[in-house]
């Protein structure tokens, strides 16, 4: 059994925000965090007793300053990183209010396939493949080597 398989996963709510043109929002991990500068979908850890939807609503206010509308649970993926094993609960969000405000001094970018920002967090790569499958996109999902 690998070391990662022995660790209890940390549950994380992840927002896959999709705008009216079909682009999705990626944000960079802030300085001081593991994988700083890597691009990912916004979100964060569930607090004790919190649902995925509640955590996502809280995290998106805290991180990027928006209030989200309906949350559509999409897929769940477990990813082993050196520092943690995470269970990522990906939720699609098509509706939000408020102005985007990068409250952790991170960057944001609306993207389509192939993604033009780099580097991309490993836990984000499965989502790009899922988008490719849904959209009939063939080829590399990122432009980075």
Share of the chain above pLDDT 70, in %: 95
Calculate the average pLDDT of the chain: 94
* β-bridge pairing 72-80 and 108-111: unpaired
* Confidence check: pLDDT of 1 > 50: no
Residue 7 DSSP symbol: S
* Confidence check: pLDDT of 116 > 90: yes
- Whether 69 contacts 58, CB under 8 Å: no
Is residue 126 one of the residues assigned to a domain? yes
**What pLDDT does residue 10 have?**
96
pTM for the complete prediction?
0.92
Closest CA to 13 of 68, 61, 51: 51
Is residue 145 one of the residues assigned to a domain? no
- What residue numbers bound the domain in which 28 lies? 3-135
* CATH number (domain holding residue 31): 3.90.79.10
Report the number of distinct structural domains present in the chain: 1
Each residue's pLDDT tens digit, 28-71: 999 999 999 999 999 999 999 999 999 999 999 999 999 999 99
**Residues ≥6 apart with Cβ < 8 Å to 114:** 139, 140, 141, 142, 143
């Amino acid at each position: 059994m690998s070391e990662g398989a022995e660790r209890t996963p940390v549950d994380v709510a992840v927002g896959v925000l999709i705008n009216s043109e079909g682009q999705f929002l990626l944000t960079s991990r802030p300085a001081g965090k593991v994988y700083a500068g890597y691009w990912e979908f916004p979100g964060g850890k569930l607090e004790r007793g919190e649902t995925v939807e509640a955590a996502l609503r809280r995290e998106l206010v805290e991180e990027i300053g928006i209030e989200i509308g309906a949350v559509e649970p999409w897929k769940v993926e477990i990813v082993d990183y050196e520092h943690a094993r995470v269970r990522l609960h990906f939720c699609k969000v098509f509706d939000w209010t408020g102005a985007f405000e990068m409250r952790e001094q991170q960057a944001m970018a609306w993207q389509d396939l192939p993604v033009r920002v780099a580097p991309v967090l490993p836990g984000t790569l499965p989502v790009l493949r899922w988008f490719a499958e849904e959209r009939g996109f063939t080829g590399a999902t990122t432009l980075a080597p």
